[in-house]
Chains A and B, each alone.
Chain A
Amino acid sequence: SQKIEQNSEALNIQEGKTATLTCNYTNYSPAYLQWYRQDPGRGPVFLLLIRENEKEKRKERLKVTFDTTLKQSLFHITASQPADSATYLCALGSSNTGKLIFGQGTTLQVKP
């Protein structure tokens, strides 16, 4: 069955460092991948989308890579800030359906 794995352990980093979160998947060939941020008590907020034919996408301090050979996406936040502390979810979608399959998320804690 399709499986998406995100590191269940919280990631703790110091302010100013680069945070790197990992999303691995198996038994799936997604056409695109999305990253979301979720704060406690709130719904996820869309951050970035990357397609299968794209290697890298950037938006301000965010960078996403997508390696369909390794079946992995990396999500980077450069110059991290305490306000970046949240849970980050990756989600995969195929070309023949509109629904996304979400990972369990990784919690990031940026310490001042």
Chain B
Amino acid sequence: GAGVSQSPSNKVTEKGKDVELRCDPISGHTALYWYRQSLGQGLEFLIYFQGNSAPDKSGLPSDRFSAERTGGSVSTLTIQRTQQEDSAVYLCASSLGNRGSNYGYTFGSGTRLTVV
């Protein structure tokens, strides 16, 4: 597609429910990233996929968070047993290479998650 597409754009869920957030990166981009941004805060790294390599999961805040990337394209971020502190905007980005030294990220518009 022309850009990075994320769905849904907004999600309100009850505490304790599971949610799935979807990211459709730019075709041909080998790298895909998930970040989250709380109100007035910077971007917090969650997870990074590069081609067929094992993902860098070092930013996932707890084992309730997981992500997968199928066929080197679409990615799904799953949050199990959601908590109120999970409320944030979840941003997905993709890039051409595995090192940002040559390429910037293209971000989607994000999914705003509200846990009530």
Contacts and interface: CB of A to CB of B under 8 A. Distances in A.
Given A99-B48, A101-B45, A104-B42, A34 B56 contact: no
B97 A104 contact: no
A89 interface: yes
A79 interface: no
Nearest to B92: A43
B98 A42 contact: no
A31 B101 contact: yes
B43 interface: yes
A43 B104 contact: no
A43 B48 contact: no
Contacts of A89: 42-43
B106 interface: yes
Interface in B76-116: 91, 93, 95, 97-102, 104-110
Interface of A: 4, 31-32, 34, 36, 41-47, 49, 51, 89, 91, 93, 95, 97-105
A46 B42 contact: no
Contacts of B48: 97-99
Q: Could you say which interface size class chain B belongs to?
A: 20 to 34
A103 B42 contact: yes
Contacts of A51: 101
Contacts of A45: 107
A99 B49 CA distance: 10
Given A104-B41, A104-B42, A98 B91 contact: no
Given A31-B101, A49-B101, A93-B99, A99 B45 contact: yes
B65 interface: no
A4 to B, nearest CB: 8
